[in-house]
Amino acid sequence: VTVLIDIGTLATCPPDAAAQGEIGLIERAALVWDDAGAIVWAGPEAGVPAAYADFPRESARGGLVVPGLVDCHTHLAFGGDRAGEFVARLRGADYLAQARQGGGIAATMRATRAATEDELLDGARSRLAAMLALGVTTVEAKTGYGLSLDAELKTLRVYEHLAADVPQRIVPTLLAAHTVPPEFADDRAAYVRLVCETIIPAAAGRAVFCDAFVEVGAFTADEAERVFAAGRSHGMTPKLHADQLSDTGGAALAARVGAASADHLEYVSEAGIAALAAAGTVAVSLPIATLVLGQEPLPARRLLDAGVPVAVATDFNPGSAPSLDLHLALWLACTRQRMTPAEALAAATSAAARALGLAGVVGSLVPGARADWVVLDAPDVDRWLYDFRPGRVRRVVISGRTVWPGP
Ligand SMILES: [Zn+2]
């Protein structure tokens, strides 16, 4: 057992909070975890139970302690980059037009297929190291740039390897239904069959979630439903890229198939919001992509007012969101979506954990949860997300073990 004292402010971010802004703040707090890396007690320092009096103590030196951050939507491993397309867009090119001309996802698909497993591994590993220094202790990681049996499985093997190798918890998602690869352009039904009958069975046991991009130019709701049914029968819970570029009824589809989350939602309808609320589906906001694509942000206030939990993630990917900075995403959630700093913190902890089926396991500092926590150089949550400033992370702990800065 170890006891952390001298916590200026502790945000426990309980998984069962009645409202997203209720983040369980305790001033002058202490935190206790056991040798298996699980939280056993959290509360005011003056109230530490006598049973823990004789165990070793560590000091948070007055810092703000929050749960380890959860990035619940990333496209972590891929080949190449798309800096050329970025510059072309700055000169006036259009994102969708680039995709139609063989750029966009198809460009990254070619680079990912050409990359060796080690090359993909090295790229993803260095990104995870940068995320760790930002306090990100759980990372969802999607495939979706392979779009063939071999290349999708190659990406899943990279995530398996990383899970055994890096301090963070990696949650793999199969996104074979990201886009129809060019070789199936004239027979999209054949690609959906390949996904459902070959790729999904081969990925069983390796991916926790099964994701699909439901959009004009990607997959229809009917096609996605077939993918989700195949995923379900192989143990994968649905997640989906929904209503990003137009209202395709993606939110209602997410609710109907029992998805863990509906992600993007820039164009979500009132009916979609009501469906998410009724189903208890988490809405995942991806404000970096919204900003890069010059879109109006998702209506976070309307979602929260309807009782839909709103998580915030980076959507880290080489095209629409080439930043892995979850702090930046949270600051954008405040400035552009009018989420309060408390709601934004919950969005990257307890709500993000729920989007990954890990509520009460990570993203919360309550008894039984993993002792994943971060010490921030800020007096409180409001000031942490008020002046966007890098270098605020003092210490990152996973399962009770300090993982950053290194020894
Ligand atoms: Zn995405």
CA of 27 to the centre of ligand 1 (A): 37
Cα atoms in the Cβ-side hemisphere of radius 13 Å centred on 387: 8
**From the CA of 110, how far away is ligand 1's center (Å)?**
18
Q: Mark the residues whose beta carbon lies below 5 A from ion ligand 1.
A: 315
Residue 394 C-alpha to ligand 1 middle, in angstroms?
29
The pLDDT value recorded for residue 174 is: 98
139 CA distance to ligand 1 middle (Å): 13
The structure tokens listed for 122 are 């090295």
| Rounded distance from Cα 298 to ligand 1 centre (Å) | 14
Q: Which residue has the tokens 């050409």?
A: 114
pLDDT band at 201 (very low <50, low <70, confident <90, very high): very high
Is 155 strand, coil or helix? helix
Q: Is it the case that residue 125 has pLDDT exceeding 90? A: yes
Pick from 15, 2, 30: nearest CA to 282: 15
Residues 352, 70: Cα–Cα separation, whole Å: 6
Q: 241 C-alpha vs ligand 1 centroid, how far in Å?
A: 6
Average pLDDT, the chain: 97
Give mean pLDDT, residues 112-117. 98
- What would the pLDDT profile of 55-98 be if each residue is shown by its tens digit? 999 999 999 999 999 999 999 999 999 999 999 999 999 888 89
Task: Give the pLDDT band of residue 403 (cuts 50, 70, 90).
Answer: very high
Which DSSP string corresponds to 262-313?
A: EEE-TT--HHHHHHHHHHTPEEEE-HHHHHHTTPPPP-HHHHHHTT--EEE-
What pLDDT score was predicted for residue 96? 83
Q: How far apart are CA 127 and CA 198, in angstroms?
A: 30
Q: Each residue of 14-61: pLDDT tens digit?
A: 999 999 999 999 999 999 999 999 999 999 999 999 999 999 999 999
Rounded CA separation 318/127 (Å): 12
Find the 143 Cα to ligand 1 centroid distance in Å.
10
Ligand 1 centroid – CA 33 distance (Å) = 35
Tell me: the pLDDT tens digits for 147-180?
999 999 999 999 999 999 999 999 999 999 999 9
Nearest of 201, 80, 211 to residue 140 by alpha carbon: 211
Q: How far is the CA of 324 from the centre of ligand 1 (A)?
A: 12
> Which SS3 state, helix, strand or coil, does residue 131 take?
helix
Rounded average pLDDT over 373-393: 94
pLDDT score at 388:
87
**Cα 325 to ligand 1 centre (Å):** 15
Q: What's the gap in Å between 73 CA and the centre of ligand 1?
A: 6
356 CA → ligand 1 middle, Å: 14
Q: Enter the pTM of the model.
A: 0.98
Tell me how far the alpha carbon of residue 109 lies from the centroid of ligand 1, in angstroms: 14
